[in-house]
């Protein structure tokens, strides 16, 4: 079997986790609704499913229910290759999440919350190429961020994009609802000698 697609509520996840799924090259799991009783256990149940299916497949996980709390310390999704999240995700959670997703190829966040940005991230506006930042342990190729544009300053968004671009050495495409103008071109040109992976990075307006 080449692929399996499952759409489920969090209430049914427990039953799915007990099933023996046929061997497949691709598994797509969509969480489309939740309830108070199952919301807290959703992540641990997905952990169980992820561990059962193993590493030798493409695992697409769509968390389309925004009430599920994502805590990087509790997830075990090292085999997830594609992830969409509707839950609110802060900068701190995003960095922690990426460190827990070593096999991720594409990550789309529909509710990125820009409210806990550290001074280190803000300093991205004034980075010197000689300053080295530790790469995050992930193979992510595409990162797409959607956020409340009315409540987010362009300066902070630019700082976040620069900070992540420097630390995500495998990144090929960065999508966000902001205009990537001459400032970003100048940033790439300035930092390419010290961060050669930036030469392969494409910025995109939007997240699709």
Per DSSP, the three-state class of 14 is helix
Question: Considering just the CA atoms, what is the radius of gyration of the chain in Å?
Answer: 18
Q: How far apart are CA 86 and CA 83, in angstroms?
A: 10
pLDDT of residue 76: 93
The pLDDT value recorded for residue 88 is 93
pLDDT tens by residue, 26-62: 999 999 887 777 777 889 999 999 888 877 789 999 9
Q: Tell the residue number behind the tokens 């050495």, with chain if given.
A: 169
Give the pLDDT confidence score for residue 180 in this predicted structure.
67
pLDDT value at residue 121: 79
Spans in the chain with pLDDT lower than 50: none
Structure tokens at 96: 């922690």
What are the structural domains, with CATH classification, of the chain? 3-205 (3.80.10)
Q: Which pLDDT score is estimated for 201?
A: 93
pLDDT reported for residue 177: 81
Helices 154-167, 182-191: crossing angle, 10 deg rounding: 30
């Amino acid at each position: 079997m080449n692929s399996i697609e499952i759409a489920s509520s969090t209430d049914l996840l427990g039953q799915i986790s007990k099933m023996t799924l046929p061997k497949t090259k691709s598994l797509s799991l969509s969480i489309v609704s939740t309830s108070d009783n199952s919301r807290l256990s959703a992540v641990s149940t997905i952990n169980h499913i992820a561990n059962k299916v193993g590493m030798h497949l493409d695992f697409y996980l769509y968390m389309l229910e925004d009430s599920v709390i994502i805590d990087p310390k509790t997830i075990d999704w090292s085999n997830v290759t594609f992830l969409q999240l509707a839950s609110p995700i802060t900068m701190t959670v995003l960095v922690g999440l990426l460190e827990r997703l070593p096999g991720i190829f594409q990550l789309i966040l529909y509710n990125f919350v820009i409210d806990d940005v550290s001074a280190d991230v803000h300093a991205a506006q004034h980075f010197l190429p000689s300053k080295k930042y530790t790469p995050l342990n992930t193979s992510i190729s595409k990162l797409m961020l959607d956020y409340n544009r009315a409540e987010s300053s362009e300066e902070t968004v630019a700082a976040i994009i620069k900070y992540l671009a420097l630390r995500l050495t495998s990144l090929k495409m960065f999508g966000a609802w902001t205009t990537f103008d001459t400032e970003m071109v100048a940033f790439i040109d300035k930092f390419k000698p010290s961060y050669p992976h930036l030469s392969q990075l494409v910025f995109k307006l939007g997240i699709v």
